[in-house]
Structure 1
């Protein structure tokens, strides 16, 4: 199994507490996901993020094909970091770390994603041809939305 890693850094013109308030609410996932993916939260308990929280949603990431995705928040330390992992969905592995650090004029947010695709060689080919670029597009979209919400400045990319 080939494991891929993407890492990005974004400086946000807001306090760590304000960033945490936004990102610790699963309902804001829909706000930062491209509309053409038809992202819909199907079930979560309505609470702020906490370890053990399950979030289920549907989306159409490619060719309008609807998929179900179930994630769990495995670790969460308020105003510092959280980790979400896929339990069921399109990836063989999805492990997404989100870090928040105070910087001189706001917050430095760092994302580190490790992921793997099913289907061996075909999955590696799909990553090269489609998945890697789709993830970049999703993260670029997210940066634009966050910029509009907080006045963020993108300093590094996938």
Structure 2
């Protein structure tokens, strides 16, 4: 089994509370996801994030193929971190940790994702050409969008 990971950090000139209020609101997932992904929440975005929350949405990650994705928020520590895990969706495994840390002049946001691609060896062969670049594009978009919303550190 091949397990891949993505690790990003970003500093923003906002308070810990402002950062938490933004990322703990599932409605903001659409704001920080590229329009090309066709992201649309179907259910589960009506409350602030909590452990056990199920969020169900559509995405169109590649070639215009519309997929359903269901994630569960498995762990939450107010203003510190939360974890979302895929229950059904495009990956064989998806575990995404979101961390916030107050720093001088703002907040550090850190994302650590561990994932396994579907389709066994075929998935591993196309990963460097399709899946990895798409995930890098999504996280680069998120960083750029957060700067647009909150300013540069």
TM-score, normalised relative to structure 1:
0.95
Q: Corresponding residue for 2:37?
A: 37
Q: Corresponding residue for 1:13?
A: 13
Once the two structures are superposed, what CA deviation does each residue of 1:91-150 show, in whole Å capped at 9, x if it has no partner? Answer: 011000000000111000110000001211111112111101000000011111100111
What is the CA distance between 1:59 and its match in structure 2? 0.9
Is the Cα contact below 8 Å between 2:8 and 2:112 reproduced in 1? yes
Q: Corresponding residue for 2:107?
A: 107
Does 2:118 correspond to 1:130? no
Alignment of 1:37-116 (within 5 A): 37-44=37-44, 46-116=46-116
- Write out the 4+ residue segments of structure 1 that deviate beyond 3 Å after TM superposition: none
Is the Cα contact below 8 Å between 1:143 and 1:152 reproduced in 2? no
Is the Cα contact below 8 Å between 1:81 and 1:97 reproduced in 2? yes
State the alpha-carbon separation in 2 of the partners of residues 43 and 65 from structure 1.
20
Q: Corresponding residue for 2:2?
A: 2
State the alpha-carbon separation in 2 of the partners of residues 85 and 46 from structure 1.
19
Aligned length: 153
Structure 1, unpaired ranges of 5+: 154-158
Higher RCO (CA 8 Å, separation ≥ 6 residues):
1
Once the two structures are superposed, what CA deviation does each residue of 1:1-36 show, in whole Å capped at 9, x if it has no partner? Answer: 210011010001101110000000000000000001
Q: Corresponding residue for 2:145?
A: 145
> SS of the counterpart of 1:65?
coil
TM-score, normalised relative to structure 2:
0.98
Is the Cα contact below 8 Å between 1:9 and 1:108 reproduced in 2? yes
